[in-house]
Amino acid sequence: MTSKFNRRSFMRGALGGAAVVVAVPTLDQFLDNNGKAYADGAKLPTRFGTYFWGLGLTPGRWVPNKVGADWDMTPELSSLKDLKKKVSVFSGFRVHLDGRPNIVHWTGQAAILSGVAASKNGSFDAGTFDVDMADQLGGGMRFRSIEMTPFGNPRLSYSTRTGVGFNTPEASPIALYTRLFGEGFQDPNDPNWKPDPSIMLRQSVLSAVTDQRKALMAQAGAADKVKLDQYFTSVREMEGALASQLEKPAKCESCVVPTAPAETAKSGMIETVNKNNVLMGKLTAMALACNQTKLFNVVHTSATSETYLPGDSMIYHSHTHDEAIDEKVGYQVITSKLAGLAFQGYADFVSALEEIKEGDGTLLDNSLVMGFSDTGYAKIHSTDNIPMFFAGGAGGRHKGDMHVVGNGDPVSRVSLTAQQLVGMPVGSFGIGAMKTSKSVSEVVA
């Protein structure tokens, strides 16, 4: 971080303080005439994120009536109203179990992310597509991807290379800040940038570790090889990160180095989770704008969400099962309130990307954030009609403002579409009955 006072430093503090958000426009000299690329010809990168919240949404309270373009707003989606034009809604997609059990609060996210219903609780039968995406598209950044959860539980992550070990999330805003903007961060706009010679020595340390790779792998059986391979992949990612720090970073005017957020409370109270979520959204948005990473994965709350309303002795998960349907209104009232608040996490997060100007649009225009949950109806653990959303322009490839009805098609169609929209060279996704090569063309611009 620099210590100078300049236009950017004037902006600092927004994260830790009031909800005043001032977007800093990318200066014209950095951009070509079309505002789609930097002047040196480098395209503005497309970023991608997954955003999961637990327990779905309430039937009858979220699916728009209108199918196709210009969908109509519904009660539980109301937090997205200002961004509706940049959001696609997917309803009616489901998990094809392929003979596997419906593992409650697990099958849904497993199928969406790995392309196959899990056969066992606690692990997926395959790695998740975000990891493939990080491998293919995440290079050249300090971090191939960043995982986080505003709920504060360091085990809340569904991003996995092997299906067994899950990528560790940052579990508080300060931890996320430290990872992104602490040691190792280089301000891309620092005019006095010089390569840090100690980085080369740190690279040598890693070389000494990887020197033994071949010998170790030759001794290992299949399962150990998978684990060791993941370990060495992690080492390689760090080598890549160190290498990127030896290169002078490209200037990016949208980057405003934030100040550290204050220590925040850790609590299951939904308001606290959402406050942490807002902070994490702003930090992530700035990490994207500062070219620290192109990919992120957020788990707002677990699939058995333990969030609660202030003073309520019952947690959200218990309400979904225990609360009777109010005959007057036709739905579970407290559950719906909590569903709306959980979904607000997604809306707040993508809003943080929208608040940053980039090129002739916003950071969100150059991003795609796939929001999804584990169930279509938590009360009965349904894996039909799981709510799924795309927010952002994906660099002009995502049409937005569309409502697509899946009519029972597999959720993997939406996952495949997400991958293709951000430029993954994949023609199909999924395994067995979930395998599909049919993307959702209605949302492709």
422, two tokens: 């951000």
- Rounded CA gap, 75 and 103, in Å? 29
- Is there a contact between 89 and 77 (Cβ–Cβ < 8 Å)? yes
List the one residue out of 376, 424, 437 whose CA is nearest residue 130.
424
CB-wise, 62 or 106, nearer to other proteins? 106
Nearest distance from residue 44's CB to other proteins, in Å?
A: 25
Nearest distance from residue 178's CB to other proteins, in Å?
A: 10
Residue with tokens 């950044």: 141
CB-wise, 24 or 426, nearer to other proteins? 426
- Is there a contact between 391 and 87 (Cβ–Cβ < 8 Å)? yes
162, two tokens: 């092997």
Nearest distance from residue 438's CB to other proteins, in Å?
A: 16
CB-wise, 47 or 251, nearer to other proteins? 47
Nearest distance from residue 21's CB to other proteins, in Å?
A: 28
Nearest distance from residue 133's CB to other proteins, in Å?
A: 11
End-to-end Cα distance, the chain: 39
- Rounded CA gap, 296 and 283, in Å? 11
Say which residues have a Cβ less than 8 Å from residue 111's Cβ, sequence separation at least 6: 95, 96, 117, 118, 383, 410, 411, 412, 434
Nearest distance from residue 122's CB to other proteins, in Å?
A: 7
Listed as own residue / partner, the contacts of 7-12 with beta carbons closer than 8 Å and 24 or more positions apart are: 8/189, 8/255, 8/256, 8/257, 9/257, 11/256, 12/256, 12/257, 12/258, 12/259
- Rounded CA gap, 352 and 276, in Å? 13
CB-wise, 206 or 433, nearer to other proteins? 206
H helix intervals, 59-210: 107-114, 129-137, 173-181, 198-210
CB-wise, 163 or 359, nearer to other proteins? 163
- Rounded CA gap, 366 and 45, in Å? 7
CA gyration radius for the chain?
A: 22
Nearest distance from residue 314's CB to other proteins, in Å?
A: 7
CB-wise, 41 or 221, nearer to other proteins? 221
Nearest distance from residue 228's CB to other proteins, in Å?
A: 6
Q: 389 by DSSP, 3-state: which?
A: strand
Nearest distance from residue 414's CB to other proteins, in Å?
A: 16
Q: Concatenated DSSP letters for 250-283?
A: PP-TT--PPPPPPP----SBHHHHHHHHHHHHHH
Say which residues have a Cβ less than 8 Å from residue 32's Cβ, sequence separation at least 6: 38, 39, 41
Residue with tokens 């150059």: 366
Nearest distance from residue 116's CB to other proteins, in Å?
A: 8
CB-wise, 41 or 310, nearer to other proteins? 310
CB-wise, 6 or 207, nearer to other proteins? 207
CB-wise, 161 or 398, nearer to other proteins? 161
- φ/ψ bin of 400: left (φ > 0), alpha (ψ from -120 to 50), beta (otherwise): left
CB-wise, 39 or 217, nearer to other proteins? 217
198, two tokens: 């100690």
Nearest distance from residue 113's CB to other proteins, in Å?
A: 10
CB-wise, 191 or 310, nearer to other proteins? 310
Nearest distance from residue 212's CB to other proteins, in Å?
A: 6
CB-wise, 28 or 322, nearer to other proteins? 322
User: Residue 382 forms beta bridges with which residues?
Assistant: 377
